[in-house]
Amino acid sequence: MSNDFIRSAGDFHIAEAKIISSSGVEVDINKNNNIAHIKLFENIQQNSITGEILLHDSAGYVSELPIIGQEYLKLKIQTPSINHEVNIIDFTKNVFVINSVQTRGEVGNNISVYLLSFSSSEIVKNQRTKITDSLDGTYSKIVVDMLDRVNCRKKLFVEPTKGVKRIVAPNIRPFDVISMALNSASSSINENFSPSYLFFENFDGYHFRSLASLYAQPVVQKYTTHQAGGQIQQSGPAKGIANLEAELANIIDYEIVENSNTLFNHTTGVLASTLLVHNIYNKSFKQYTYNYFDSFNGEKHITSYHGKKQFPIFSDATVEEGLRNSDFPARTFLESISEGETDVNNTTKDGTEPYAAPDPQNTLQERVSTVNQLDRGLILNITTHGNTIIKAGDIVEVDIPIVASVKVDGGRENDRFYNGVFIVKRIVHEFDFGEKKHGTILTLIKDSLSEKLDGPKDQIEPKPKISARVISNKETFYPQL
């Protein structure tokens, strides 16, 4: 652990950085200032941490060790003054695996430069492991089993799922089995039985949990914009000294990435969908319709966990006579089940039927709507001074001012969409050894608002009251004949 104190926002300390070569030789790449740049990537929609490290090599390691993309990387990084174990990026016991050597070149004075690409070891083990087995238990138990198959020794955050299930794995990888569980898993401890499960890795470990459980976490950081020299300088005896807490909370730059896409929402089933369930046991069909606006209050969204009311991020305005966007189920799903009281398609060797029947009508459509909003919801990228506390899946609070050249008296100060609580969907950590600075780019997303959007009942599409004019005469299509 470092006893250094943080001197300015973006400070970082490399406690350890070593490469273990394929020949077994261990080299300290931090000792001789070999490191030029490190990037680390976390994402709640990816099942592995990945990264890149740019090296200046004057000792010929790449040839002599050699470095060929079959090495291990020990890495430990922390923000000075932060010594709590959970807030340190520590991959010295669970090491990274170097997968490739890229863009190798020379910069003069017999110094070579090359970029190493690395990832968590579990994803590599996953690629060389196949499962051909019948797997029994709750989905959460099966997930723990699959992580054991890839030799995972990290912390596992596994939210319990309901129902005993069976998965038949036909020569597929462990993470493919987990993907099968994701599609049908629902929580046994959430009051709404949240079906929006995610599987990902961050610096804390591996997570198999519902999106609702992430929303329920406390806010770990508040971010805001400010005028230069405003909040950064402390008052009183410390006047003129940088306020590090304010600097770490400062949004250096931001970009509004997405603010809903109606075509995407219709096509993917975010707003509405139809599910046809065929029960092959009793030869029956049932139809279920998902309506985003009608279902919204029965679901738990991000603002509801943080002392606010929850409202849709879309307007429920009438777009056709008496109909909203959610009244058009443009996507259709078809699922087959074999259901009596239990899953009669799966039995034990002694003929018993202990397995819970599949219930796509309670999971599939809500999951599709919720998870697709992670790709096209209210998305904001912010650039900040880095620290090792913030991780993918954390909850942060954002305050973006409204952008307008004319201010209305008594009007709102903040952007109505891009303020309040957000979840960190993706985070890129950049450690620049030239400038000695740690910066982060956070992709933030939310799926609800704390105030309702207007939804007038007469906001139908303006159309002329005449029929379309069909032009089909020969002169129009072949004017020269």
pTM of the model: 0.90
pLDDT score, position 368: 95
pLDDT score, position 137: 93
CB 113 within 8 A of CB 56: yes
| Residues forming CATH 3.55.50 domain(s) in the chain | 129-215
Is it the case that residue 349 has pLDDT exceeding 80?
Answer: no
Q: What is the DSSP letter of 296?
A: G
Is it the case that residue 83 has pLDDT exceeding 80?
Answer: no
Rounded to 10 degrees, what is the CA torsion of 210, 216, 220, 224? 100
Amino acid at 339: E
pLDDT score, position 81: 77
pLDDT-above-90 percentage for the chain? 63
Tell me the mean pLDDT in the region 193-208: 95
Looking at CATH, the fold of the domain delimited by 129-215 is given as: Phage tail protein beta-alpha-beta fold (3.55.50)
Q: What is the DSSP letter of 213?
A: H
Is it the case that residue 104 has pLDDT exceeding 70?
Answer: yes
Q: Which residues contact 96 (CB under 8 A, 6 or more apart)?
A: 49, 51, 72, 73, 74, 75, 118, 119, 120, 121
Task: Let me know if 248 is exposed, middle or buried by CB neighbors in 10 A (0-12, 13-18, 19+).
Answer: buried
Per the rule left: phi > 0, alpha: psi between -120 and 50, beta: everything else, 322 is left
Q: Where are the alpha helices (DSSP H) in 28-138?
A: 61-64, 121-127
Helices 174-184 and 139-149, axial angle in degrees (round to 10):
160
Q: Kindly report, residue by residue over 222-276, the tens digit of the pLDDT.
A: 999 864 444 445 444 444 445 777 888 899 999 988 777 889 999 999 999 999 9
pLDDT score, position 297: 92
pLDDT score, position 220: 94
CB 310 within 8 A of CB 254: no
Give the chain's mean pLDDT: 88
Maximum Cα–Cα distance for the chain, whole Å? 91
Side-chain half-sphere exposure of 394, counting CA atoms within 13 A: 20
Q: Kindly report, residue by residue over 139-178, the tens digit of the pLDDT.
A: 999 999 999 999 999 999 999 999 899 899 999 999 999 9
Q: 3-state class of 180 per DSSP?
A: helix
Is it the case that residue 80 has pLDDT exceeding 90?
Answer: no
Is it the case that residue 11 has pLDDT exceeding 60?
Answer: yes
